[in-house]
A and B are shown apart, each in its own frame.
Chain A
Amino acid sequence: MADDKLSTAESLRSTRSYGQVRCMNPSCAGRITPAPGQTQAKCPKCGSEWRIFWINAGLPRVKGPVWETSQRLANERLDQIAAEAGKNEELAKKEVK
């Protein structure tokens, strides 16, 4: 049984990316590289903006959205869906305040 070969999960460790966060817009998921200590970052791919927290010097994470940007983008998307679906579409009610 003394099998020292790396398992799939162990071997995937080399693919970890440090110093980066993923854009939290799920279908974008682009990589963002905030400068050390930076507390806000914009996704170069989709324009979403995120507040950043540093777990340690090399490990940033998205703390949450920049609410204003997030709601603006959400409203734009709702308008777009409403326009596509016609004015009676339930989503046109602008549920995002």
Chain B
Amino acid sequence: MSLDRKVAIVDLTTGKIDIKAIPLAVRKQFLGGRGLAAYLLYNYSKPGCDPLGPDNAVIFSAGILGGMLASASARTDVMTKNPLTGLLGSGNFGGFFAPELRYAGFDHIVVIGKAAKPVYIFVHDGEVEIKDAKNLWGKTVTEAQWAVREELGDPDVKCAVCGPAAEKLVRYANVMTGIKNANGRGGGGCTMGSKNLKMVAARGTMDIKIAHPHEALEFDKRFIEQITSAKVNQTMGVLGTPFIWGATNSWGGIRTNNFQFNQLLNADPIEPEEIDEWSKESMGSEYNMSACFGCQVHCRAKYKIPDTPLARKYGLVGKYDEGPEYTSQGAFNGEPGCTGLDTLLMGNHLVDQYGVDNLEIGSTISWAMELYEKGILTTKETDGLDLRFGNDDAVIAMIHHICKRDTWLGDVLAEGGIRASEKIGKDSFKLLIHMKGMQNLHSDERATPALALNLALASRGSDHLRSRPAIDLYHLPVDVMRRIYSSPVAYDGPLSSDHTEYIGKPWQVAWHENCYMAVDCLGICKYHTTFLGATLPNFEDWAKVLYYNVGLEMTPKDIWDVAERSNMVERLFNIREGMKKDDPFKGEILAERYFTEPCKRGAPDVIGKKIDKPKFLEMRALFYKYKGLDENGVPTPESLKKYGLENLDKEPLRI
């Protein structure tokens, strides 16, 4: 059965391991993946704990569909109290780890405490062991994975691993799996580093029984066809996620030079078609795309780093990697104003090997570049590095310095923007583009109020995968929007096809918040959902896939309620850890520059756009109302009761 997977609670201080069943009642309330992870984090991390101390928990979670035939049921959520923000830290990667964890008999691994020396956790066919990681510590992301496979004598071991950046406690260090699957935006790698935990390695041969196998096969076929026939996924299968960057930069929705501009001009060398060409050439094959477990979209280009003077300087010529994603184009090209393809491919490779968040490191370097150009940082602080925009070499150098913490500036920037601004002083904080202490994705939301609202409200800080109604840019007819946004919960309020409008957007953001939470509980890929296209699956389709595969009979509205409840737990965690709606460090408010600096580049209609603050605050208030929150964004007693969360603090139902 899919429902008989267990949770292991591993205390690294004492070495005690508890293996527990997941009660069906808890399953039905949270399903799995991110929803159940939020519940476990709330219960297993101590309120107000130091994120780098033993009282923080780090939780590895597979979705309830993990490892099954529904398309791309590959996703793993890693959740912790984020060392960067002090609020919720949660990331999600694809690859092959979650299926392997489930084949080993587990859905969740909760790690608390701190090991006295480096260790790793080995999960295999119903058993959990803590093992010595002396030989793994100090290794890069891939070196460590290949080494543990050799040590265990099994090439099919799958790992959730941290890299050298986590060992150095870079506050935005990732958990990684495979060559490049990154659990970014959550700081989970840093928490692992603080616990002396190098990896969770999984290997399983246990069956997962399908509840209704014949019907499941029929329905999964239809489900996969729905996903692969979408134009957007056919495009992804050829160009990968860089197609999103290509589209967005076309109209001027890319943040460049740390928010001073909103389009990378003449960016032809890093356009997705060029990456595709280079990928084919360097791999010597038309078949140059790879994929996660069970995915037919295969969005990830394989590549080798070209022979250029810059690649030679850093000894990276010919190094293999995968997927220079949309986010890497922004981090290493758009934000620092660099157009080198080698910079993109090298930057992507370095963050994969060090195991660090590409968005955060790229944004942080670009912020430092603006400080340098404005004279707030000088060559004294940069150790002689010429940190001006467009200096490709400086970007690559700073990635090394931050991940190794081997210069003053590298060490300071490894602490993240807010802590760094305290050290740097002057007006540096004003130039930081962050929400809840996390720097923004490289996209520019000044022309798209709905997307801007998502940034401020996202539970893990400035974010593009929490409640971003990306299809707002598709200009769908209102009657089509009405069909999407009135299901599974009736909505008869305003909707507008105009992405520059403020009206109707709070409901779209609220709807997408639940949509993406449901996806993360199921453990499937967001590219296979309404995230990128109106014809891709959502609640109605998931009720069926869940029933046929797992046997849980839930209506679309039941799944909606799971998502609503899970989002509420994430919000309660943030409130417990100090989130207040207007707080400039931990609040649900945009960086001031969104309201004061207009866009200067791009398509004619984008130029001059900025976010209207009073209208933004109205949108936020309406969002709170839709979500059953009071005017401060705190769940009302009625909402807590409705979702069975009124006793979360008093009587935590610990699994």
User: Chain A interface (Cβ within 8 Å of chain B)?
Assistant: 1-3, 7-10, 12-13, 15-16, 18, 22, 24-29, 46, 48, 50, 53, 55-56, 59, 61-65, 67, 70-71, 73-74, 76-78, 81, 90-91, 95-97
Contact = CB atoms under 8 A, between A and B. Distances in A.
A12 B600 contact: no
B379 interface: no
Interface stretch (B231-239, B312-320, B580-588): B231-239
Contact of A13 (B226, B239, B268): B226
Interface in B401-451: 447
Closest 5 CB pairs of A and B: A7-B540, A27-B605, A25-B603, A95-B600, A77-B604
Contacts of B602: 70, 74
A12 B605 contact: no
A24 B608 contact: no
17 contacts: A1-B553, A7-B537, A7-B540, A8-B538, A9-B537, A9-B541, A22-B475, A26-B251, A26-B606, A61-B243, A63-B272, A64-B271, A65-B603, A70-B602, A70-B603, A78-B600, A95-B261
Interface string B239-283: 100010011011101000000010001111001110000000000
A16 B226 CA distance: 12
Given A12-B480, A12-B534, 13 more contacts: A1-B547, A1-B548, A9-B534, A12-B483, A24-B247, A24-B603, A59-B231, A59-B234, A61-B247, A62-B246, A64-B268, A77-B604, A91-B607
Interface in B206-248: 215, 226, 229-231, 234-235, 238-239, 243, 246-247
Contacts of B483: 8, 12
B535 A10 contact: yes
A9 B215 contact: no
B215 A46 contact: no
A9 B538 contact: yes
Given A2-B215, A8-B483, A13-B226, A77 B534 contact: no
Contacts of A59: 231, 234-235
B598 interface: yes
B251 A96 contact: no
B43 interface: no
A70 B266 CA distance: 11
A76 B600 CA distance: 12
B231 A16 contact: yes
Contact of A26 (B239, B535, B547, B603): B603
Residue of A70, A95, A97 ringed by the most chain B CB atoms within 10 A: A70
A7 B265 contact: no
B607 A81 contact: yes
Given A13-B226, A24-B247, A7 B603 contact: no
Interface centre among B475, B602, B604, B605 (most CB of A within 10 A): B604
A29 B475 contact: yes
A12 B501 CA distance: 24
Given A2-B215, A12-B535, A27-B498, A96 B250 contact: no
B246 A63 contact: yes
A25 B604 contact: yes
A55 B272 CA distance: 11
Contact of B530 (A1, A9, A25, A71): A9
Nearest to A18: B231
Contacts of A64: 246, 249-250, 267-268, 271
A27 B473 CA distance: 9
A9 B484 CA distance: 8
Contacts of B239: 55
A46 B601 CA distance: 17
Between B235, B251, B487, B547, the greatest number of chain A beta carbons within 10 A of the residue's beta carbon is seen for B251
B604 A73 contact: yes
A15 to B, nearest CB: 7
A15 B606 CA distance: 28
B27 interface: no
A27 B500 contact: yes
A55 B236 CA distance: 10
Contacts of B607: 74, 77-78, 81, 91
A50 B601 contact: no
B536 interface: yes
A12 B229 CA distance: 12
A77 B608 contact: yes
B124 interface: no
Q: Which of A12, A28, A50 counts the most B-chain CB atoms under 10 A from its CB?
A: A12
B234 A74 contact: no
Interface in B536-554: 536-538, 540-541, 544, 547-548, 553
A1 B545 CA distance: 11
A46 B226 contact: no
B544 A1 contact: yes
A29 B530 CA distance: 20
B499 interface: yes
A1 B215 CA distance: 10
Interface in B553-586: 553
A25 B251 contact: yes
Interface string B487-516: 100000000001110000000000000000
A3 B273 CA distance: 42
Contacts of B553: 1
A75 to B, nearest CB: 9
B251 A16 contact: no
A73 B134 CA distance: 60
Contact of B271 (A7, A63, A71): A63
Given A1-B544, A73-B603, A50 B250 contact: yes
